[in-house]
Chains A and B, each alone.
Chain A
Amino acid sequence: MKLMNCPLNGPRPVLEFAFGGELRAMPDPDRASDAQWADYVWNRNGAPGVKREWWCHVPSGFWFIAERDTLRDVVIATYPCEAVLR
């Protein structure tokens, strides 16, 4: 069974986690053009690489950030989201 290190609960089976998608910066809705907004709503970075992603430890409802290589499916680091929301 694959394990993931939750910053709050320690190593847990990956089945306990929900994937929340890549961390993305939202443009200011009042200033973004229609094209910028549509790009934010729909477009994704679909190519493989090391990505910063939202993950949730479902039993405790704790959201955090994981850096993961999507080509090898290897988690490189996990940390609380405060580090990236400033």
Chain B
Amino acid sequence: MPYRLLKFALSRRHPEPRMFRVPAALKPAYDVVIIGAGGHGLAAAYYLARDHGIRNVAVLEKGYLGGGNTGRNTTIIRSNYLTPEGVRFYDESLRLWRDLATDFDLNLFYSQRGHFTLAHTDAAMRTMRWRAEVNKHLGVKSEAVDAAFVKRAIPMIDMECGGHAPILGALYHEPGAIARHDAVAWGYGRGADRRGVEIHQQTEVTGIEVTGGRVVGVRTSRGRIATPKVLCAVAGYTPRILDMVGLRSPIYVHALQAMVSEAIKPWLDPIIVSGSLHVYLSQTARGELVMGASLDPYEVQNTRSTLDFAEGLAAHMLDLFPFLGDVKVVRQWAGLADMTPDFAPIMGTTPLEGFYLDSGWGTWGFKATPVCGKTMSHTVATGANHPLIRAFEFDRFERFELTGEKGAASVGH
């Protein structure tokens, strides 16, 4: 628990100051420039300042802090992946998550709920057993459970799903959790800010200057900055930044939509995912249902909402929980997912010296925020990829050494 909460209880005045400074102007030079003030970029800034003593850092954000995918995801945190590389990486993230509120002295509303990945077919059950064994081998709490276990944990569920997709069992992942996503960006931002990092919002990067195969500066809507190191953490905008430095990548962008219901009585404790029905949901502490589904079915770099999505997701929700028929949807939105062919991220050094990528975070980036900050700050500080991200290197595709994480994607994409 954040100890600062005690101060709120004992103080007569509200003791909360502003979260960040608003730095007046850009300096002419920084040791590191981070593009993107989302969770990932701010986490990297935070650990660069805290663990590596690199404080002359600018985080540039063309919109507002945490306004991209950090504020648009469905806040699920889990480490029940399929490949050993993925499991190790996300489990390190989960370990970091647990201490984060105390680290920040900020309430993240981190809430461990348990996470069910439902299986509606024998083939899906087989994948659940596979994932459970990989997870257990690496010390992660996951197990394949039967239909009766699912029904006991989620009494309101229709186990037949209207008769067309009966639930045979699930992968149960006890550490599965949700957290308040905005607070993650604020916590990292404030921590970085207090250590001297400058966060410049409303500052768009318009070009990256390269001389002799290495980064020398960044052009922005507010002037030029000299820097030897640039970290790109911009999710669905990655291809546009890569075009600025002439690098080609397998990243393609689809929109990912989500929606939230009005607040209703608490009835759902765990987090539920169904790959077959393309749905994932959890109930927030306020009682809203946060619901997500698959990517939009074609490339689009626009955060519009579609009726097709709302209809499809609502239909599948009703397969699982017919009693929700009268519950209203209050918001729908979208984020831009930078997808990769193997459903694993693209992280670390690139062929361009001084240019580092934290990208390819598709639909799975929020849970990785802390470990991305840790590993990318190490990579930027030392110039060498952190051991935990070796499976996610930029050049793995031209070596035809993919990481194959698709089996752990939360829904079938």
Does residue B253 face the partner (Cβ distance < 8 Å to A)? yes
Interface size class of A (residues with CB under 8 A): 20 to 34
- Check A38 against B400 for contact (C-beta < 8 Å): yes
In the complex formed, the residue of B with least CB distance to A15 is B308
In the complex formed, the residue of A with least CB distance to B398 is A38
In the complex formed, the residue of A with least CB distance to B241 is A47
- Check A72 against B243 for contact (C-beta < 8 Å): no
Does residue A84 face the partner (Cβ distance < 8 Å to B)? no
Q: Which of B46-79 contact A (CB under 8 A)?
A: none
Within 8 Å by CB of B249, from A14, A43, A53, A73, lies: A43
Does residue B307 face the partner (Cβ distance < 8 Å to A)? yes
Given A1-B308, A38-B398: A73 in contact with B250 (beta carbons within 8 A)? no
- Check A48 against B250 for contact (C-beta < 8 Å): no
- Check A38 against B397 for contact (C-beta < 8 Å): yes
- Check A73 against B243 for contact (C-beta < 8 Å): no
Does residue B252 face the partner (Cβ distance < 8 Å to A)? yes
- Check A48 against B297 for contact (C-beta < 8 Å): no
- Check B239 against A42 for contact (C-beta < 8 Å): no
CB distance from A14 to the nearest CB of B (A): 8
Given A15-B308, A47-B239, A47-B243: A71 in contact with B302 (beta carbons within 8 A)? yes
How far, in angstroms, from A27 to B73 measured CA to CA in the complex? 39
Given A38-B400, A42-B397, A43-B250: A70 in contact with B300 (beta carbons within 8 A)? yes
- Check B398 against A46 for contact (C-beta < 8 Å): no
In the complex formed, the residue of A with least CB distance to B299 is A70
How far, in angstroms, from A53 to B300 measured CA to CA in the complex? 12
CB distance from A25 to the nearest CB of B (A): 15
How far, in angstroms, from A43 to B238 measured CA to CA in the complex? 13
CB-CB under 8 A from A47, the residues of chain B are 239-240, 242-243, 301
CB-CB under 8 A from B400, the residues of chain A are 38
CB-CB under 8 A from A73, the residues of chain B are 300, 302, 304
How far, in angstroms, from A46 to B252 measured CA to CA in the complex? 5
How far, in angstroms, from A44 to B253 measured CA to CA in the complex? 10
- Check B398 against A42 for contact (C-beta < 8 Å): yes
CB-CB under 8 A from B338, the residues of chain A are 46
CB-CB under 8 A from A15, the residues of chain B are 308
Does residue B267 face the partner (Cβ distance < 8 Å to A)? no
Q: Which of A19-59 contact B (CB under 8 A)?
A: 19, 21-22, 34-35, 38-39, 41-48, 51, 53
- Check A46 against B239 for contact (C-beta < 8 Å): yes
In the complex formed, the residue of A with least CB distance to B248 is A43
Within 8 Å by CB of B299, from A19, A34, A39, lies: A19
Does residue A18 face the partner (Cβ distance < 8 Å to B)? yes
- Check A45 against B239 for contact (C-beta < 8 Å): yes
How far, in angstroms, from A15 to B311 measured CA to CA in the complex? 12
Within 8 Å by CB of B297, from A19, A44, A53, A70, lies: A19
- Check B300 against A44 for contact (C-beta < 8 Å): no
Q: Which of B296-353 contact A (CB under 8 A)?
A: 297-302, 304, 306-308, 338, 341
CB-CB under 8 A from A86, the residues of chain B are none
CB-CB under 8 A from B252, the residues of chain A are 44, 46
Within 8 Å by CB of B240, from A42, A48, A53, lies: A48
Among A15, A35, A45, the one with the most B-chain Cβ atoms within 10 Å of its Cβ is A45
In the complex formed, the residue of A with least CB distance to B251 is A46
CB-CB under 8 A from A14, the residues of chain B are 308
- Check A44 against B250 for contact (C-beta < 8 Å): yes
Among B242, B302, B306, the one with the most A-chain Cβ atoms within 10 Å of its Cβ is B302
CB-CB under 8 A from A21, the residues of chain B are 299
In the complex formed, the residue of A with least CB distance to B306 is A2
How far, in angstroms, from A46 to B339 measured CA to CA in the complex? 10
Among A15, A21, A46, the one with the most B-chain Cβ atoms within 10 Å of its Cβ is A46
Q: Which of B253-269 contact A (CB under 8 A)?
A: 253
When A and B form their complex, which 5 residue pairs have the shortest distance between CB atoms, in order from nearest? A46-B239, A19-B298, A48-B301, A42-B397, A38-B398
Given contacts A38-B397, A46-B239, A73-B302, 14 further A-B contacts (CB under 8 A): A2-B308, A18-B297, A34-B398, A43-B249, A44-B250, A45-B239, A46-B242, A46-B249, A46-B338, A47-B240, A48-B253, A70-B300, A71-B302, A72-B302
Task: Point out residues on B near A: beta carbons under 8 Å.
Answer: 238-240, 242-243, 248-253, 297-302, 304, 306-308, 338, 341, 397-398, 400
